[in-house]
Amino acid sequence: MATNTENMKTGLPEAVHFDVVGKTPAQEEAAVFTQSPMAKKGVSGAEAKSALGMFFGCIALAPLMWFFGQWVIDGFVGPGVLFFGYGMAYVLAPIAVMAGIYSFAKLFRSAQKKKPERTLEWFFKVALIGDEITKDGRFGKMDLAIATLGRVAHDASRFDRNAAQTYISDFRSLLASAMDLTTGKAKVGGWHEGSSQTHLKIESTRELFPGAAEVKATLTYNDILSMTDQKNNTTTKIAAILELHIVFSLVRSGKYWYPFDIYPAVTCRRDLPDVPAQ
């Protein structure tokens, strides 16, 4: 199976820019966080269910792939043996094992971080966007988004599941509307949602006052389409590019940093159709 990356005919699509700005705390507001240290929050039920489901599924699938590949290798000849035989037994089966191990390791990761930049990364990449494999490839599952946002939120933020779900849904709808400006036009001739790529660049970190920091970052999100032909050659292309310009305040409580504003304002620098109010 061959894989290559193809840009749009006119080059990469024009990026759509967003401003994501959280509230800045006053010292007395930050004191509510700093004077109330919290113990680490354990993995949520939703995260455990997802991680274990993926782990057992991948571990069960790997030997089936290996035996099927060996059966093809032993019983057939021709170019199809390369993919369905050797590819299944010696490429896809090991990948399934590694995916299972990676998923199982998520049971032991902590949302509490000792650096403000790492907390920002968890908030945006793990909670709001999602870092698990999903069917459409754009965002993670909503129940995991709510759970991982709840884990990174300080008790002083008064986290509420319903409010979190509404915010995450609106956030994702806004980004999806921007993606569809170019992705919708690119979905012709067999192209479909393949995956997404995110890259976070920390621009600067400055201390607001002891125990509080402001982090500026740029999160680049690429919406990827893929297509597989009759020869099992897979082609991918970047169909949409989003750039989120983030200004985020965080407060230290004990050893760990927490977001001060768990519902930062999000605005697009251009008009988008059918966007929910933020």
Domains of the chain, by residue range, sit at 3-40+110-268, 50-103
From residue 163, give the alpha-carbon distance in Å to each of 42, 89, 158, 178, 209: 22, 46, 10, 23, 29
Q: pLDDT tens, 21-68?
A: 999 999 999 999 988 878 778 888 888 898 889 889 999 999 999 999
Please tell me which residue, 224 or 17, carries the higher pLDDT value.
17
CA distance 85 to 75: 10
Q: pLDDT tens, 218-274?
A: 999 999 888 877 766 778 889 999 999 999 999 999 999 999 999 999 999 987 765
Decide: 137 and 36 in contact? Cβ < 8 Å: no
> How many C-beta neighbours within 10 Å does residue 74 have?
9
Claim: this prediction has a pTM higher than 0.85: no
Decide: 149 and 251 in contact? Cβ < 8 Å: no
CA distance 138 to 117: 23
State the virtual CA torsion across 262, 265, 268, 274 in degrees, nearest 10: 90
Decide: 278 and 170 in contact? Cβ < 8 Å: yes
